Structure 1
Amino acid sequence: MKTRAFVPEKLDVAALAHDGASLAGEWPAVSLERLADSAAPEAPASGWPALQWRLAGEIRQPKGGKPQVWLHLTASGQVALTCQRCLKPVHEDLDIDRWIRFVDTEAEAAALDVDSDDDVLALPRHLDARELIEDELLLALPLVPRHEVCPEPLPQATEDEAPEVEERPNPFAKLAALKRRDS
């Protein structure tokens, strides 16, 4: 029996699932351009450790239904983002473990995705697994990266540096004066 060679950039998901095969590897973080763009300026993606990934295909046969194509995606890596408190690099560990179900059409995927806890996608002829993995890593990034405790104390404005706030009249003061005058 001849085994198929699977290429992550042009992956036949249906064949991977029917063979019950898996594919694994690692990529330098700098090769995932959109992820590398999120890097802290002081800690570029070229200095990050390689990102590990694994894809495993599976066919599931539900009772009374047609066979389903599933893809199990796992990926992990470490990125350096800018802390939103101190503006220094903060290292974040990313770990992804997702099951993705593939269906025949976009309409079917949209209908099933609403009710499913798992991701549902339309089955493409060839899938760019690198792009899919990068998408999942981007979704795993924290919305507001920050240290638990910043390495340096945050800068505090002293009284000499504090901007002067001019006293503005209360906009309701005139209304209060009118009310007092009427009563």
Structure 2
Amino acid sequence: MKSKPLDPRRLDVAALAQRGEQLAGEWPLASLERLAEAAVRESPAFDGAQVRWRLTGEARPVKGGAAEIWMYLHAQVELPLCCQRCLGPVQTVLEVERPLRFVADESRAAALDAELEEDVLELVRDLDALELVEDELLLELPLVPAHEDDCPDPLPRPVDDLDEVSEPAQEPAEHPFAALARLKKSTS
């Protein structure tokens, strides 16, 4: 009997692991709303941007116990971010390669996550792989996106006090009472 195909939007992680299968695909950047918010939508590169992803399941045997459920996540996208130097779009590649271990409940996941290097998540029946991929890519966003080398269209540099071109000195304005004193002298 043929097993039912796995749906990445309602993924049975345990079944993926037990079968040792791999799921892969692409989603348009616009379908990952939170990640799309970080991108420069006006950039021509936004419309064609695709998030490529791959999930591989593994059930690791454990002596005297149930097998550990693992999933390996790989995701990659090239998206236009706003360069913080020139304020123009900068193409930025985000790539995630992460092992994920799944355990029976949230409290065990929290306890193991604190002591292990790998990420530990609660095993749920219907995992939304799109949300998981989006979360992991959001964690990869640079704090300050910028062109690696010189910006193609740098902003004009602000003029510092030292760089200012000195203007010719102007005569100080006449004190208002000086004019009154002159007027008083001329009438006396």
TM-score w.r.t. the length of structure 1 is: 0.81
Partner of 2:145: 145
Contact 1:48 1:80 in 2 (8 A): no
SS of alignment partner, residue 133 of structure 2: helix
- Alignment gaps of 5+ in structure 1: 161-183
Shift of the alpha carbon at 1:48? 3.9
Shift of the alpha carbon at 1:127? 0.3
Report the Cα distance in structure 2 between the residues aligned to 1:155 and 1:106, rounded to whole angstroms. Answer: 52
Partner of 2:185: none
Contact 2:40 2:46 in 1 (8 A): no
Shift of the alpha carbon at 1:3? 2.6
Report the Cα distance in structure 1 between the residues aligned to 2:154 and 2:34, rounded to whole angstroms. Answer: 31
Task: Name the Cα RMSD after superposition.
Answer: 1.6
Shift of the alpha carbon at 1:21? 1.0
Number of aligned pairs? 160
Shift of the alpha carbon at 1:66? 3.2
Relative distance call for 1:77 and 1:29 in structure 2 (3 A) is same
Shift of the alpha carbon at 1:45? 6.8
Percent of paired sites with the same residue: 54
- Residue deviations 1:69-103 (CA, integer Å, cap 9, x gap): 00111011101100111111111111111110000
Contact 1:58 1:71 in 2 (8 A): yes
Partner of 2:7: 7
SS of alignment partner, residue 85 of structure 2: coil
Which aligned pairs between 1:50-69 and structure 2 lie closer than 5 A?
50-69=50-69
Report the Cα distance in structure 2 between the residues aligned to 1:144 and 1:33, rounded to whole angstroms. Answer: 20
Partner of 1:96: 96
Q: Select the structure of larger CA radius of gyration.
A: 2
SS of alignment partner, residue 37 of structure 1: helix
Partner of 2:42: 42
Code of the residue aligned with 2:28 in structure 1: it is P
Is 1:157 matched up with 2:158? Answer: yes
Report the Cα distance in structure 2 between the residues aligned to 1:13 and 1:112, rounded to whole angstroms. Answer: 19
